[in-house]
Amino acid sequence: MTTSTPLNPALTSWTGHEGLPRFDLVKDEDFAPAFDAAFREHEAEIDAIADNPAAPTFDNTIVALEIAGDALSRVSSIFWNKAGADTNETIQALEREIAPKMSRHYSKIGMNAALFKRIDTLWEGRQALGLDLEATRVLERHWKGFVKSGAKLAKPEQERLAAINEKLAGLGAKFGQNVLADEKSWVLFLDSEEQLAGLPDFLRDAMAAVAEDRGQKGKFAVTLSRSIIEPFLTFSDNRELREQAFRAWIARGENGGETDNRTLIAEMLTLRAEKAKLLGYENFASLKLDETMAKTPDAVNGLLMQVWEKAVARAREEEAELARLVAGEGRNHDVMPWDWRHYAEKLRAEKFSFSEGELKPYLQLEKIIEACFDVAKRLFGITATEKKGIAAYHPDVRVFEIKDASGKLVALFLGDYFARPSKRSGAWMSAFQSQHKLKLKNGTEGELPIIYNVCNFAKPAEGKPALLSLDDARTLFHEFGHALHGMLSNVTYPSVSGTGVSRDFVELPSQLYEHWLTVPEILKRYAVHYQTGEPMPEALLDKVLAARTFNSGFTTVEFTSSALVDMAYHTAEVTAEPMALEAKKLDEIGMPKSIVMRHRSPHFLHVFSGDGYSAGYYSYMWSEVLDADAFAAFEETGNAFDAAMAARLKDNIYSVGGSIDPEDAYKAFRGKLPSPDAMLAKKGLAA
């Protein structure tokens, strides 16, 4: 990278609405020099802390580390947002360069002997420091972070660990870019009624809008965006086209050529295993689980297999019912993965007398957003007001002010809801700025959380409303649950703010929030027909609620198989043929041939595009055990919005971040730790 380009102050000095970045003033070419300058500034700050002649104190070492690197944090948050939500070739090239450079930068900090000596001195003498619980947790997090960064290793091992981390960062960036490239490059244009048979109007409208965006006005596009491909597989009567689209969907990252991820997976697994051994762990899963609620691979696999056995048994029963429908149409083929959604929809209509197509007109994106905000107001007393005319990072992105019951501004929230070719698939929450109360070098005391949600719903044609599936609506609630975790945070230190918790606890606030979508009074108020404005008929609402566990064998098998393969990758002996290991594990657990993993390995972004969920995909289910039990606490009161229970939820879960141990946080809310029983009952898998 070059440093000859003048620095753009808009990247580090945020002067937009209530401290929002001025995205409109940032150009792609601004990032490279800004990163260079921010790396240098952070390095100087670290050297000043490490070389401070004064004896180490919590303030001159830990607090100083907490507020160091502000410029780097700001540049990074804008850049990684753009890399995920609105990328291009320039940004992707820089991402491949920045990811390893970022790793190298933090490896150097983690192996700074003088700095670790100060932290280690504080850690060893922590009993005499008079720290409160949150400060003690922050000290512990820094100390353990340095140890896992190789601070206690000899110099040669430190250098090897740094090289491994740098290489992994580059491979992770490439993995994600390959998946996005495969998603962008595949499209199937349809134009005859035979090809469109069975597709409802809402899907035809969405496909027509995508086709027009791709220069094929008058045609209908099937893409690999989940908001298009899943309803197409559900409603299309053309089995040949379903198979063609399905095979393309599951082959992302596995098409040969430059975007093939299979060799990257093998290399990443080898490097992760070596990293674990360097740090004294039996395998990478043991390293990743060390700071989680689950603690060990055995505990994870124990939960997963307990659920797997019930889920696969239920899926076999579901498959038999689908086979009955296939035979009833005079067909003699087995139920294959490209058939399942199609016949499950027919079975739903038979069992509950409604279809996804009948439900969708009642699930308008605007109304579901309103429902999200209303639930937050009822539970936590906050309100959301959209601020029009504020430039965000893309024209589709909306800006909201979040205020508490007294009218005080407590957060900014950005919603980015529609799919586009420049955005990676899936849905996520992140932050431009996290809440904390520390005094910064510029004199500011504390910072306002600036949180955003990214989704990939199909964008409707001009003048038409965006209609969601029930799964889409759950996704919106899920991600807003994460957003609330960031926006309601009330801690002192940035490193434990909001979602700064263990991986298998971070999904609790999001998955718990999903429950309020199907609270009857919420559906009655916000599930209104987009044409008539009439609420969802009581009979249809009853059917929706009765069908909540429908197809649960399928969905649980999809998820659990992915989680089991993830754990197998990170506990087994490393192989040069990761796809063989995937196949072996699926065969070992008895994966039905009619279902595939929710995320096959070559496009398993959670696990291989970075290591955030590596040996951690299970955490959705671990958190599901917690969220089912937590919502049961509200059900036991007879009121889904019980004020006392909501206050306990906010005070002990949503606002404390990582400032206390997650087990202690949960027990403070619920009084006990849960068993899997409530989760299994919620899925309809209880014995």
CA distance linking residue 503 with residue 612, whole number of Å: 8
DSSP 536: P
> Do 518 and 548 touch, CB atoms closer than 8 A?
yes
Pairing of strands 383-386, 220-222: unpaired
Say if CB 413 and CB 452 are below 8 A apart: yes
CB atoms within 10 A of CB 155: 10
Residue type at 44 in one-letter notation: A
Catalytic residue among 319, 479, 514, 624: 479
Q: In what order do the strands lie in the sheet with 409-418?
A: 383-386, 398-403, 409-418, 450-457, 428-433
Here the tokens at position 555 are 């969905």
CA distance 553 to 549: 9
Active site residue 479: yes
What is the C-alpha to C-alpha distance for residues 592 and 323, in angstroms, rounded to an integer? 13
Give yes or no for a contact between 84 and 155, defined as CB atoms under 8 angstroms apart: no
Burial class (CB in 10 A: 0-12, 13-18, 19+), 153: middle
Is 336:502 a contact under the CB 8 Å cutoff? Answer: no
Residues whose CB falls within 8 Å of the CB of residue 233, separated by 6 or more in sequence, listed in order: 242, 245, 246, 338, 341, 342
DSSP annotation of 460 reads P
Contacts of 535 (CB under 8 A, 6+ apart): 362, 524, 525, 527, 528, 529
Burial 327-339 (b: 16+ CB within 10 A, else e): eeeeeeeebbbbb
| Residue 447 main-chain phi, psi, to 5 deg | -140, 150
> Active-site positions?
479
